[in-house]
Structures are given as structure tokens and as C-alpha cells.
Structure 1
Amino acid sequence: MKHPGQTTGFGRRKEPHTVIIARGDEIRHFTVRPWIMAFLGSTLATIVIGYLLATSYLVLRDDLIGAMAARQARLQQAYEDRISALRAQVDRITSRQLLDQQLVETKVSELLEQQAQLSSRHGRLAPLLDRAAAAETPQASAATPPDIKPEIRASLSDDGTSAPSLASAFAATAPTKSSAFWSLLKSPQESETAADHADKLFASIKQSLKTIESDQIARIDSLTENAYQTADTISEALEASGVKVDSDYGKSDVGGPLIALDNPHMFDAKVQELDESLDRLDKMKETARRLPIANPAPGRPVSSTFGVRTDPILGMPALHSGMDFRAPSGSTARATAPGTVVKAGWNGGYGRMVEIDHGFGFSTRYAHLSRIDVKEGQKVSLGDVVGEVGTTGRSTGPHLHYEVRQNGEAVNPLRFLKLGKEIGRYL
């Protein structure tokens, strides 16, 4: 009797799988277990999958190798491009550094040449400046050019010792080839800032040298104008006193080529003009110094002037041909200009008298002397003692009779004394 739900195989024994192998009279059988079948199946599947994978690898290997080679080539190309770009950048910066170095060396050479030229000009100006300083008056000293900066004044040393310092200053700013690579480590902004600083330094020093040059020209112009003004003042004063001078100098027969202000020969023209003005001033001074414009008895009062007066002895009108200076006996009488003694001895009413020839038709007489300290033919200078005051000759008391004669005729000495006071500060 079967129960519901009960299988027909319930209670039967499952026999294991048996493999029987018959070979002739031999019969062999093997019992196959399930797990062995599973193992064998798994092994077979593994072998099949490995075979398929190996076949796929062998088939796709060339493609993989090609892809890897292409990738490696792309990476290598990228590295090579980067290296080429860096190398080009290094070459470009090196070239720029070389150009900057050449530019700096060119600018340094130009500045050193300009400085040497200014130093040479300063050497040429030294003798003229010495002449001008000797001829400079208080009025001229007030008309000085603008002050030169101390750092600029130092670059005008006579021996040119400032040139090496200037070169060393620029050498620090000049780039070198070895610094080209290290400049890559700097940012472009820093490099541009250094270049701008160098340009500003060049511009500043060049402007300073131009300032020195313009100051030299201004100084020359000032000295030239002062020399001409002083010469004109002396000339006008001499003409007003009746002394003939070259009054047409600078008023006619003028001309010459036009020299632009930026002409390189302007400095030479200015120096020549200064030299001419100083020559004219020296000529005027030499002329003035040869004239009897000094006081023969400094500090002594005038007791009688030139002109018609009452004769102190006869009491009648008479011409007084000179000036009388009241002074005690033994006081010194001094030459009023350089010249040559032409008379030294007794001369009638003059008593003991000294006469000096000053050239240009002028001569002076010193009369009533108690003693004569010079002799005929002797050269005397301005201020030399020619004798001592006395009362010899036609005299009523100790005094110095002083005469100025032009071409042998007596003229008023007061005119020359006033002239001496007027132009004495220029001499």
C-alpha cells in the first residue's frame, strides 16, 4: 500500500556509477564518485578557459605591444618637445643676455668716452679759469652758474680717477653668459625690473654728464660776458677821462659761421670766445695800469686843486698846473703808475723834482721834494717810493706838488684819481 506523496523510489538504494572495461578475458570496473566527476569537469573547464585565454593573448599581443609602443613614443615625443622648448628658451635668454651685455658695454664705452671728453675739456678750461679767476671782480663772482651736484662734481676730477669707479659701477650691472641659466629661475617680472633699473641708471648718469657739460658751457658764457662787461666798463671810463682806446672793438667788422647750439664744435667756439674776451680784458687792464690813476700821497688832504688860483707868493691869479697834497716833511711820495724816470733832480720853481714817463703820452711830476730816491733811467712800478715830501723850490710850506701831463700838456690830475677809484676794483 502506497502512502500519498511517497515516491516510487523511496527506500531504494542508489548505486554508484560504475565503469566496466572488458579486454579479452579481463574485465575491469571502476566506480566513479560524483566529486571525482566534478573535479574532472572543473579541470577540463579550466584547461579550456586557459587555452582560450592563451589563444586570445597570442592573437591580441601584437595589438597590445603596438599600443604600448605608441604610448611610449608619445611620451618620449612629449619629453623631447619639452626639452627642445627649454633648450630654445635657454638659447633665447642666453642671446638676450649677450645682447644686453653688448648694449651695456656699448653704453659704458659711450659714457666713459663722454666723461673723458669732459675731463679733457676741464683740463683745457683750467688755464682760462685761472685767468678768469684772476680777473674776476666781486660783481662777477655773484654771477655764478647753478651748483653742480656733489656726485657729479666728483666725476670731473682732473686726473680722471673717477673713470674706473664708473666702469666698475656698470660692470656690476652687465650680465654674463654663466648667468643665463640662472636667469631662468627668476620670474620675467624680476628680469624686467633689473633691466629697467639698469636703463634708469644709464639715463641718470648720462643726464648727469649732460648737466656737467651744460654747466661748463654756462660757466664759460658767464665768464665771457663778465670779461666783456669789465673790458667795456674800463674802456668807457678811459674814454670818459680823455684816454683814447680801441672803442670800435666789437662794434664793427663782425661776422663768422653760424654754429648751432648742438654742434659738437660749440665748446671749442665758446672757449675761443672766452679766450678773446680775456685777451681784450687784459689789454684794457694793461692800458689802465699804465695810466697814472693812483694817489701819490694816500690819506693826505688836498690843499690846492688844478686850475686858476691866487698865487700864494705874488697874490695874483695864476694857473696851477697840478694838485697839492698837504703832508709833513719826510712823508713818502709814491709813483702812481709804472714807468721810467726821465728826470730826477733840481728843476727851478719845482725844487727837487722827479718826472716819470708812463707811455701812451702820459707823464707825472712830483715836486718840492726834500729827498729823491730814484735816478734817471730807472724803472719804477706802481706804488714805488720816488722821494720824500719837502718844501724845496717855490713853496710856502711842506707839501707834494703832483702833476699829470698828456703829450706834454698839464691836465687835471683829479680826473685820473676819480678814474682810479672807478676802475680800481677791476684791476
Structure 2
Amino acid sequence: MNVTGQSAVFGRRKEPHTIIIARGNEIRHFTIRPWLVAFIGSALAAIAIGYLLATSYLVLRDDLIGATTARQARMQQAYEDRISALRAQVDRITSRQLLDQQLMETKVSELLERQTQLSQRHGRLGPILERAESEVGTAPAAADAAAKPDEHADVTGSISQPGTYSVASLAANPSSGDTRPFSLWSTRSDPLPSDSAADRADRLFVSINQSLKAIETEQLTRVATLADNAYKSADAITQALQAAGLPVDSDFGKSDAGGPLIPVDGSMIFDSKVKELDEALDALDDLKKEARKLPLANPAPGHSVTSPFGVRTDPILGTAALHSGMDFRAPIGMAAKVTAPGVVVKAGWNGGYGRMVEVDHGNGFATRYGHLSEIDVTVGQKLAAGDVIGKTGSSGRSTGPHLHYEVRHNGEAVDPLRFLTVGKKVEQYL
């Protein structure tokens, strides 16, 4: 019985958990299986873990979103700062380019204005320089360089050179990447590797400006030299005439002037220099015209004087007598030429003069040509210096063929040698 009892106890089957619900007369029971308990526990554990995870997500989500937003804000701010810096850099580059372009345009305008001014001056100087060189003579060689344009500038044309751009093209595209104009033009200074186009253009403008300034200086020097030569020529003529006692404008070269000191610019200096040259040439021209009216030429060049002016022994009577002119040895038939322009007032036989021609030169001066063998002019005929009035001979009171030449001032005979001496001195100026 004990064995049976042990066996019954030891081998008794384990009964599952049962839930009994009694309600009045109704009794209900539920059997709970182990797997169901495990499933329910797992479900509850999953729900608890899910709840905890959801709660943690909801708690941490705001922090995550805030951190992401802050990171994005920082990145956006960094990008905006970078964009602002790039914009500022672009603005600086653009502003510099605009300033460089404006500066270049200003310099080009100044150069073109100076070039136009020099071209206009060249046009003005052309006729007056030709006149000056014809009346005064060629200026020194150093001054002649003003007529030759510099290697970077042409006075009468555009500032350009074969194979290069003109100055105007630099203004049109001053910041272009094509640096060929600068490398071709800047022959006086080697460009540095770090030089920009603006730097090379600046050196180019300096070089061209120096060239134009040199041309302007040479023009002024040439004008001043020619004016000085004109005054020197006029002074030489005046001194020669005054030394011979011949009439000359006593006020030549003198001026009474005054007034406040007012600074002038380059154009006014040039105008004043040109005006001074023009006045000097006018004065020299007037002086030459007056000198050319005087009988300063030799009536018989290359022929010796046989009898001077003054008291001499009369060749026929052998007594002392006044010789009112000069006798030049000349063969019969040689052309006798008038020594200054004038009008014939006498042409015919005149006592001891034989065949004689008298020419009035104005201002009280007259010349006589005696002992002619032939007269080729008539009274009232106008003559130029060097015109033939007749042929030499031995008519009248004469001992042999020669030319008797007289110079008279207001009817009185004066020594022709004074005029001949002055004529030799001023011949190179006339």
C-alpha cells in the first residue's frame, strides 16, 4: 500500500493551472497553459520595452531635432559668410577694374588731347617754320629733331606703331587678357612676371607721355631758336645800317610793357612763343624790305675801283676836284645793273656824265650811272634790283671806258663805299 502510495505520489501527473470563476449558479473555469503564460509575458515585456523606447524617442526627439537644426543653421551661416566674402572679393576686383579702366580712359583722353594739340601745333608751325627757315636759315641740328616724331608718337598721325594697337584701343579694352599691346609697346622697360596689364599700361602711358612732352619741348625750343635767330639777324642788319649812318627804325627791338604777373599754362606758352616768332619774322621782314630799298649792291661786281669818292686830281685838268661818285673799270658794252629797286627819273645825255641814268629809290635816296654807251630804260620805268639799265662806255667827260656810280641822299652825293660795305655785311641776311 505504501508502494502503491509512493508510486501514486511519485508518478502523479502535474495538473495545469486552472482559473475557476463562479457566478451564482454558473461556474466557469479556464485552464492556463504554460506557453500561453510565456506568450502573455513576452507580449507584456515587448509592450513595456516598446513603451520605454517610444517614451525615450519622444523625450530625445526634440533634442535631436534641435541639434540637427542648429547644425544646419551653422552650415547655412558658413555658406552665407563664404558667399559674402566671395561677393566682397568680386566687388573689390570689379571696383579695381572699373577704377583702372576709368584711370586708363582718363590717361588716354589726356594723351589724345595732347596728340591733337601737337598735331594742331604742327599745322600752325609748318608755314611759319618754312617762312622762318627761308628768311632766317635752318635752325641748329638739335632743334631739327622736333620735326621727327618719337618712336611712340606721331605728331601728324595717330599714336600708333606698326603691329600694335593705338591709344584709343587701350581705352576700349583696358583690362583684357591680351597683353600684346603692352609687351610690344613697352620696349624701354622689361615687364616683371607679377605685373598686371594695368601696371604695364601705366608704364606705357608714362613712356608715351614723356615722348609727347619731349616733342612739345623740342617744338618750343625750335620756335625759340628761330625767333632768336630772327632777332639776331635783324640786330645785325640794324647795327650795320647804323654804323654806316643809314636810316633805320630806332625803336626796333625796344618795347615798353608792364602789368601783373599771371601764370600761364602750356598752350599759352606755345602761343606766346609762336607769336614772338611771328613778330620777330615780321620785324625782320620789314627791316629786310627797308634794307632792300637802299642801294647796297655792287653795280659792277668783280671789277676794281679806279677812282674813289672824294677829293682827287681831275684826270683832264690835273687840278684838285671833288669826285662825287666811284669809277669802276669796265669794258665797253658791259651790262650796267641798278643796285636797288626804284623808278627811272632821268635817262639821256647829261653834260659831263655823258649818257646817264638816274633812279629814285625812295626815302630821298637815288643812284646815278654815267658814261654809258647805251641806255636801255625810259623815264618813269619801274626797276627791280639787278635790272639792266644800259651798257658801259666812255661817253661824256671821260678818259676811257668805265662805269661812274653815284649815291645821293636828298640831292647830296654821299660815299658809295659806305653802302657797298654795308651791303657785304648784310648780304647773307637779305
Scaled to the shorter chain, the TM-score interval is: 0.7 to 0.9
- Residue 76 of structure 1 aligns with an amino acid whose one-letter code is Q
Gaps of 5+ in 1: 1-17, 31-36, 177-188
Q: In the alignment, is the contact (CA less than 8 A) between 1:101 and 1:175 conserved in 2?
A: yes
Question: Does the residue aligned with 1:150 lie in a helix, a strand or coil?
Answer: coil
CA distance in 2, matches of 1:369, 1:205: 70
1:4 aligned residue: none
CA distance in 1, matches of 2:265, 2:33: 130
- Residue 120 of structure 1 aligns with an amino acid whose one-letter code is Q
Kindly indicate whether residue 362 of structure 2 is the aligned counterpart of residue 363 of structure 1.
no
Question: Does the residue aligned with 1:354 lie in a helix, a strand or coil?
Answer: strand
Which of residues 317, 321, 325 in structure 2 aligns to 1:322?
Answer: 325
Question: Does the residue aligned with 1:206 lie in a helix, a strand or coil?
Answer: helix
> Structure 1 residues 243, 72: CA separation in 2 closer, same or farther (over 3 Å shift)?
same
Shift of the alpha carbon at 1:253?
A: 3.2
- Residue 418 of structure 1 aligns with an amino acid whose one-letter code is T
> Structure 1 residues 395, 133: CA separation in 2 closer, same or farther (over 3 Å shift)?
same
For residues 288-307 of structure 1, the aligned pairs below 5 Å read 288-307=291-310
Q: In the alignment, is the contact (CA less than 8 A) between 2:175 and 2:197 conserved in 1?
A: no
For residues 194-273 of structure 1, the aligned pairs below 5 Å read 194-251=197-254, 253-260=256-263, 262=265, 265-273=268-276
Q: In the alignment, is the contact (CA less than 8 A) between 1:370 and 1:389 conserved in 2?
A: yes
> Structure 1 residues 388, 29: CA separation in 2 closer, same or farther (over 3 Å shift)?
closer
2:140 aligned residue: 142
For residues 88-107 of structure 1, the aligned pairs below 5 Å read 88-107=88-107
Kindly indicate whether residue 113 of structure 2 is the aligned counterpart of residue 110 of structure 1.
no
2:342 aligned residue: 339
TM-score of the superposition, structure 2-length normalised?
0.78
CA distance in 2, matches of 1:131, 1:49: 119
Gaps of 5+ in 2: 1-12, 21-30, 177-191
CA distance in 2, matches of 1:402, 1:85: 102
TM-score of the superposition, structure 1-length normalised?
0.79
Q: In the alignment, is the contact (CA less than 8 A) between 2:297 and 2:423 conserved in 1?
A: yes
Shift of the alpha carbon at 1:228?
A: 1.4
CA distance in 1, matches of 2:362, 2:301: 23
Kindly indicate whether residue 73 of structure 2 is the aligned counterpart of residue 73 of structure 1.
yes
Q: In the alignment, is the contact (CA less than 8 A) between 1:152 and 1:209 conserved in 2?
A: no
Between stretches 325-334 and 167-176, larger displacement belongs to 167-176
Q: In the alignment, is the contact (CA less than 8 A) between 2:153 and 2:211 conserved in 1?
A: no
Shift of the alpha carbon at 1:190?
A: 7.8
Question: Does the residue aligned with 1:88 lie in a helix, a strand or coil?
Answer: helix
Q: In the alignment, is the contact (CA less than 8 A) between 2:153 and 2:160 conserved in 1?
A: no
Q: In the alignment, is the contact (CA less than 8 A) between 2:108 and 2:168 conserved in 1?
A: no
Question: Does the residue aligned with 1:392 lie in a helix, a strand or coil?
Answer: coil
CA distance in 2, matches of 1:252, 1:49: 123
1:411 aligned residue: 414
Shift of the alpha carbon at 1:289?
A: 0.7
Shift of the alpha carbon at 1:192?
A: 6.3
Shift of the alpha carbon at 1:365?
A: 1.2
Question: Does the residue aligned with 1:328 lie in a helix, a strand or coil?
Answer: coil
CA distance in 1, matches of 2:271, 2:63: 88
Q: Can you list the C-alpha shifts for 1:268-311, whole angstroms capped at 9, x where unaligned?
A: 32222222221211111011111111111222222222222222
Q: Can you list the C-alpha shifts for 1:61-84, whole angstroms capped at 9, x where unaligned?
A: 432333223222211221122112
Question: Does the residue aligned with 1:156 lie in a helix, a strand or coil?
Answer: coil
CA distance in 1, matches of 2:33, 2:237: 161
1:168 aligned residue: 168
Between stretches 228-237 and 125-134, larger displacement belongs to 125-134
Kindly indicate whether residue 63 of structure 2 is the aligned counterpart of residue 63 of structure 1.
yes
CA distance in 2, matches of 1:383, 1:69: 115
Question: Does the residue aligned with 2:145 lie in a helix, a strand or coil?
Answer: coil
Shift of the alpha carbon at 1:150?
A: 3.4
Shift of the alpha carbon at 1:59?
A: 4.2
Question: Does the residue aligned with 1:319 lie in a helix, a strand or coil?
Answer: strand
CA distance in 1, matches of 2:80, 2:140: 75
Shift of the alpha carbon at 1:362?
A: 1.1
> Structure 1 residues 20, 346: CA separation in 2 closer, same or farther (over 3 Å shift)?
farther
RMSD of Structure 2 on Structure 1 (CA): 3.6
